[in-house]
Each structure stands twice: as C-alpha cells, then as structure tokens.
Chains A and B, each alone.
Chain A
Amino acid sequence: MDKILVSILGLLSILFTYWFFFMKKQNTVEASGSINILVEGGYKPDRISIPFGQTTKLVFERKDSNSCLEEVVLADFKIKKALPMNEKVIVEITPDKKGEFDFSCAMGMFHGKLIIR
C-alpha cells in the first residue's frame, strides 16, 4: 500500500518539478534608456527587451552573496563585469545586431535574455 503511495507521490513530484522549473511564464520587460536588474537568486527581470541601435543602461544590483552571481557576462557584447554586493553597476550597451542574446553569471548557472528589437 505505502509502496503504491510512494510511487504515485514520486511521479507527481517529478511532474511538479518539471512544471515548476521548466514551464515558467516568460515575462519580457521593455527597457527604454535604463533598466534596473536585481541580482538575487537569478536576474529580475530576466527577459529584457531593448531597442536596436540605442544606448541602454543595464543597472545591475547584487543582493545575493552567492559567489556564482558575483560576475555577470554578456558574452555577445564581450562584457564581463564584477558585481560587488549592494552596488549599482552600470553596463552600457548599444546593440548593433537584432535577436536574442543570453546573459549569465560567470559559471553559466543563472541566465537572462536580452531581446534586441
């Protein structure tokens, strides 16, 4: 009896895990000129739409002591910035290409997306 219960609960937990981590709603935030990005257990917002050809300031502020997040990498723009705790760090980009570009922590554990439109 308990074995059946554990099997069912196990299956449900797996489904829940899948839903919880992989079926997130993707919210895209539009940035114009400047946008604040909170770095705490990830990036908030993590999908940012910015206009093509215009200089946009991404203001990162890290509130999380996890060493994974101590650097942010915008590889397509060749930018790697150290983020000291509780400091606003400004990254200025002027996109010259359209599309979706990933940004992540230095170890590639946390991800965000820049959508250039």
Chain B
Amino acid sequence: MTTKRTFYIKGMYCASCVYSNEKALKAIKGVKEAVVNLNTGKATITAAMPITNDVIKKAVESVGYEAMIGATDKEDSLDEKIKKEKTKELKNLQIKTSVSLILAGLVVWGSSPGLMNTAPMILKNMVNHLILASIVQFWGAYDFYKAAISSIKHRLANMDTLVVIGTTVAYLYSAAVVFYPGFFESLNLKAEPYFDVSTVIIGLILLGRFFEAKAKAGTGEAIKKLIGLQAKTARIVRNGKEIDIAIEEVKLGDVIRVRPGEKIPVDGIIIEGDSAIDESMVTGESMPTDKHKGDTVIGATINKSGSFLYKATKVGKDTMLAQIIKLVEEAQGSKAPIQRLADVISSYFVPIVLMLAIATFAGWYVFGPAPVFIHAMLNAIAVLIIACPCAMGLATPTAIMVGTGIGAEHGVLIKDAESLETAHKVKTIVFDKTGTLTKGQPEVTDIIIKSKVKNQKSKLQLKSQNEILQLAGSIEKFSEHPLGEAIVKKAEESKLSFRKVERFKSITGKGVEGLVNGKKIYVGKLLQGSKSHSGGEDLKNQGKTVVYVYIDNKLTGLIAIADTIKDTAVEAVKSLKDAGIEVYMITGDNKQTAEAIGKQLGIKRENILAEVLPEEKEKKVKELKSNIQDLRSKIAFVGDGINDAPALAASDVGIAMGSGTDVAIEASGITLVNKNLMSVVSAIKLSRQTMKTIKLNLFWAFAYNVLLIPVAMAGKINPIFASAAMAMSSISVVTNSLLLKKQKI
C-alpha cells in the first residue's frame, strides 16, 4: 500500500533548499518519492508505509527548515512578503515626505526675511518653529537616526550618518538659540535659529528617497514579468479524461492538451496535432512558429491556432522559463569588474567626508569671517549633506539590472555582469558556420534542365523543373542519404506527388536508380562517359553539391543542394561590420564551399577559416586571440553550445545560439534563446549601451562628489541647496539606468 502526504515547508528561498529537503525526505525509511516545490512551499511524499508527523518534522528540521503539517494555508511566499513590505515602505515614506515638506514650508514661511512679513503671527514664533522642527527631526528622520545609530555600533558610517549629523547640529544649535538667546547675544551672535535648514534638508532627502525607491522598483521589473509569464494550471489527459491540475503537479511524461489561445504550461514534445505558437515572450522572436508532431514546445508560450496534445519533458525548475529566470537572477546578483573600484571608494567615502566636514568647520572657525561659528557650522553641514555615496553605489547595479532584464526580453540571456562588460569590448567575432550562420540542413537551391533535350517520343515530357524534382524525389524517397532527403523535402514542399518506383537500387558511392513508367531513372554523381555540364561546374564553384538526373542514361537535369544561410545572416554580418567588428567564419568545409558561403555573407576572404576539424576550432580561436594586438579588444565566438563548447570557452565571450529548451550553457557567457542571428547584434549593442550608461552614471556620481565637496568646503553652497543636489544625484543615476529601456537594441 502506498500513502501520499502533502504538507508545507517554511523557510525555503532557493533551489538548493528544495534539493536538501527532498534529500532529507527521501532518506526517511519507506519514502519512495519526495517532491518539494519552491514557489508554493508544498512538499509531497509517497511512501510504502504510513509515516508519522514526527518523523517528517525531524527530517525537515535536520536540514534547517520547518515542516508545517496539517496547515491548510501556505505562508506568504518571499516575493509576496517583499511586495507587501515595499508597498508599506513607500506609503510610509510618502506620508513622512509630504508632512515633513509641509512643516518645512511653514518654518521657511515664518523665518525667511522676505516671506516672513506675509506669514501669520503664529508662524513667526520661534517656539512654534521648534515644535514643527522637532516633529520633522524625530518623526520624519526617525529612520535615519535608527540606521545611523545601528551603524555606529558596528563602527560603520553611511549616508544616514551624514544626514543625521548635519541636521542634528543645525537643530540643536537652533534649539539652544530658542532657549538661551541671551547667551548667543552675549557672544555677539544674532539669536537666529536655523530650523529651516534642518527641516528642508530632511524633507528633500526624504523626497529623494521616495523617488529613488519608486524608480528602483522599475529596475527589477524584468524578473517579475518573467515570473508572471508562467501558466497556473495544465489540462492533462489521464485515463482518457482531461482534468485541470495545478502546474506544480505536472509530472514528467504527463500528456497535456492545449487549446487555441491557451498558454502552454511546461516544456514538452507534440505528440498529436499542429499549431502556430507565439514564443515571443520567451525567445523574443516576433513571428509565431509553426509546430508539428515531434516539435518541441516551450512552457509559458501561447498557442495561437490549433489544438494539440504534447508530452511534458521538462517540469518545475528544469523548464526553459525557470532556467531563464535563474540565469537572469544570477546575472543580476553578479558584479561587473567596473564596479569594484566604486565599491572600494564607497567603503572609505563616508568617514572621509566626516573628516572633511570637521576640517571645514575648523578652517572656517579659524580663518573665516565673522560670525565665525555660524559660517563654520553651515559650511560643515553643507559638506556633510552634499556628499552622496549612494549615487556611486547605485551607478552600476541599477544599469546591470535593467540591461540584463532587457536582454531577457529579447531572448538574449547574459550569464553574469562580467560577460556583459566584456562584450562591449568585442572587436572580433568568429562564427561557426554549420547550424549557426547556415540552417545546418541541406536544401535544394537550384534545378537546371539540360538544354537541347528533346525527348519528344518519351512519355516523360520534360517541361518543367518540377518534373525533374518529382522524378528525383520519387526515387530518393527510398534512399536515406541526407542529400536525398533534401530533394524529397523540396518535392513535398512543392506539393508534388511521388510516382510509383520499381526495381529501386542504391549504388554505393554513386547514387540511386529505379524504374518509373518503364524508364530508367538515375539520380547521383556524374556518370562515367558523360560530359560534365558547365552549369554544374558553376554551381560547384558556388560551394554547392550537384546531383545529376539521368533518364534512360541521358543526362536530363541537375539539382544543386547546399546548406543555405539563415535569413538573418547577411543583415547580421553587415550590422556587425558597420559596428566596427571584424567578422570571421570557421568551418570544416573545403575552401571552395566555405569561400562561396563567405561571399554570400559578405565575409572577407582572409577571414574564412576553412577545413578546420571540430577539435581544432578551440586552437584557432586561441590563435586569433593571441594575434590581437590591442589588449583591450576582445574576441567572441558564436556557436551552438554543444559541439562548440571548447571554442566558446576559449574565447573572451562565448555566445551560444539557442538549441532546444536548454539555456544554461556552461561554456557561454551569453546565450541566445532564438535562432535569429540579429540577436548577436542585439547582444553587442545591449552590452555597449549598458556600459555607456554605467560609465555615464559613474562619471556623474564621481564628478558630482569630487567637484561639489570642495565647493561646499569653500563655503559656496547653502546647506539647503546641498540637500536638493544630493537628492537629485541619486535619482538621476537610477533614472539614467531606466532610460536604457528606451534604447533600441
């Protein structure tokens, strides 16, 4: 007897959590199968005997999680929790920002020289200013204090430390002025509080944080979009009946029914029916793809026309969509080499600014004009407030987030930030020919009817190329040769019916023959004794394979077969050349064929590497790499990811062209989900644009701090202006990253 138990596991946040739980559950004596789902937190075990709750709990606990048996509702998933928290945070920030700004406005109205006269009496009272400023200081800036204090405990300093010190100094000074005006007057100071400084700074910085938080939410949209693509249910066929089940419960080998307009739940292979499928959301390919029996379908894509049945071949974390999400998440968690410097600087930055502020205070106090204390204090505050380490910290990661996200939308999956960075330096791209630049399947390209064939007496009136194709196709249908297959395919595409063939014979190394309507038809190599045909020689020079068709031993026609180039290949090569990239082609083909293809593609003759054995490709790539003089320029290899793995790994950036539903290709830095060669161009463009954004961000962030801190030290910046500039600088960095979305790639 087998029993099934389903329960929830609390605390799982990663794929490895699933693995360790499954392992622990499987280790329980009697358990045959254990399936744990990360998204739902649900675990199901199948066991040969009843398993007690305690045993399950212990097993789950042993790997550091908690089993909730009998719980009917799952706890909120991590995403939901974060979403709730974010919404709360934004709401909270919005309230604090608006209240602080209004109160700051009231203080400014009641205290600035020109405006003061129009303000009601109540706003001119300094004690009332103190009350308003206290609300802003201790309620509005509460989170700044909290963060600053907990950092100080660790002997660390951050943005909040600067804001807190700056505003607290202004606030405390002003409060002292309100309580002991006589003391300040005795020191020859005007008893004037600076509540406007403390409140406006806090208001503006809160406003900056609010916009920054809103903009930052936009940088992570791609992952959310991808997760949202997933179907919720699947209609599976079980025991002859169609039932709807949750997508998490779909198992390998399940047969699934998909009707027009529905989302395909998981990856699989069509076993019955045909359809056109819109795969744009996953592959970026805009045209729907026709799919027939035996074709692979991808989960989360949309079935446009027909209804079909398919067998699930990949479920859960193995589906293409799940792999894409994982890849994008990993890329966003990685660090671009360019960021390392910003990281080092930002970790020393805040304490240095603190020291500079102290120096500013002392400098103005000792050398500045009277009243020295006021000048010293305001200028030191300006230094503290204008420094913006956040802009430096945000410069790279936000651009990487947006860049990798846009890539995913276009079917360009970037493995890590480093690959994205390296790709912008690519000056040489080596393409593998077969299957990358070409379709990888031989196709009939030309059919020539030998002139002067006047076979009037024959029943076979040779009127058209179609008839040659029909005859050759009828014979080749019995052969298994790849060239024969190409002829049969072409005949089928031309909707030709095959003739009845008798006495079929395959002549090894030569061709095939048979009788059609009593006539002997031979399809194959040029027969001995017959003159070679000039048209045939031309076709051969174009790199094509020529098959000769004889009727009753007379040469009647020629069929040329070649591996044709992909529709997008010429455009892609041209775009890359226009972008200043040297394009190479590498192939095992002979020189003649390779050069012919290269010519069609517009690749320079000297850039064609022909007759290269598969195992030598890696060596060739290394050779090219060592020939590059400029150390900053990089080399990319574009191949299929399976046979070309060593060459992909040997290049600086391996670009793997999509093959099936496996996108996590170890050797590649960039994986293209679709077969469109323009994606290579997109990948390079994306990399260049992202790096441009990062450099611009870093430039502004650094220039801003490097230029404005000295200006503030020199006493040229009012603290209020400093807070506005600071708030603007981090917003502008995030906004600049978001602008990447508008770029055409």
Contacts and interface: CB of A to CB of B under 8 A. Distances in A.
Contacts of A7: 362, 366
A110 B147 contact: no
Interface of B: 11, 13-14, 16-17, 20, 64, 78, 81-82, 85, 89, 143, 146-147, 149-160, 209, 213, 329-335, 339, 342-343, 346-348, 350-351, 354-355, 358-359, 361-362, 365-366, 376, 389-390, 392-394, 397, 416-417
A30 interface: no
Contacts of A42: 150-151, 154, 156
Specify which of A74, A79, A104, A109 lies most central, judged by the most chain B CB atoms within 10 Å of its CB.
Answer: A109
Sort chain A's interface into a size bin: 35 or more
A10 B358 contact: yes
Contacts of A85: 85
A68 B147 contact: yes
Contacts of A80: 329, 332-333
A67 B342 CA distance: 19
Contacts of A76: 335
Contacts of B17: 90, 92
Contact of B14 (A22, A44, A91, A109): A91
24 contacts: A6-B376, A7-B366, A18-B351, A21-B156, A21-B350, A21-B351, A24-B155, A41-B150, A41-B153, A42-B150, A59-B64, A64-B147, A66-B143, A66-B147, A66-B150, A66-B158, A73-B333, A75-B333, A79-B330, A81-B14, A82-B78, A84-B82, A108-B393, A109-B393
B85 A41 contact: no
Interface in A60-117: 64-68, 73-76, 78-82, 84-85, 87-92, 102, 104, 106-111
Question: Closest 8 CB pairs between A and B?
Answer: A41-B150, A10-B362, A80-B333, A107-B393, A75-B335, A66-B147, A21-B351, A42-B154
Nearest to A68: B158
Q: Is the interface of B mostly helix, strand, loop or mixed?
A: helix
A49 interface: no
Interface of A: 3, 6-7, 9-11, 13-14, 17-18, 20-22, 24, 34, 40-42, 44, 46, 55, 57, 59, 64-68, 73-76, 78-82, 84-85, 87-92, 102, 104, 106-111
Contacts of A41: 147, 149-154, 156
Contacts of A18: 351, 355
Contacts of A59: 64
Given A46-B154, A79-B333, A107-B397, 6 more contacts: A6-B365, A11-B362, A42-B150, A44-B154, A92-B20, A106-B397
Contact of B343 (A24, A34, A102): A102
B147 A6 contact: no
Given A21-B157, A111-B347, A90 B64 contact: yes
A25 B149 CA distance: 19
Contacts of B343: 102, 104, 108, 111
Contacts of B390: 68, 107, 109
A10 B159 contact: no
Specify which of A9, A73, A79, A108 lies most central, judged by the most chain B CB atoms within 10 Å of its CB.
Answer: A108
Contacts of B362: 6-7, 9-11
A46 B11 CA distance: 23
Specify which of B20, B156, B159, B376 lies most central, judged by the most chain A CB atoms within 10 Å of its CB.
Answer: B156
A68 B417 CA distance: 21
Nearest to B345: A108
A68 B355 contact: no
A60 B523 CA distance: 72
Given A10-B361, A92-B14, A104-B343, A20 B155 contact: yes
A29 to B, nearest CB: 14
Contact of B213 (A11, A67, A74, A82): A67
Contact of B366 (A6, A13, A111): A6
B416 to A, nearest CB: 6
Contact of B143 (A65, A82, A92): A65
Contact of A78 (B153, B209, B333, B351): B333
A47 B416 CA distance: 25
A64 B145 CA distance: 11
A82 to B, nearest CB: 5
Nearest to B730: A107
A89 B16 CA distance: 13
A86 to B, nearest CB: 10
A24 B154 CA distance: 9
Contacts of A81: 13-14, 333
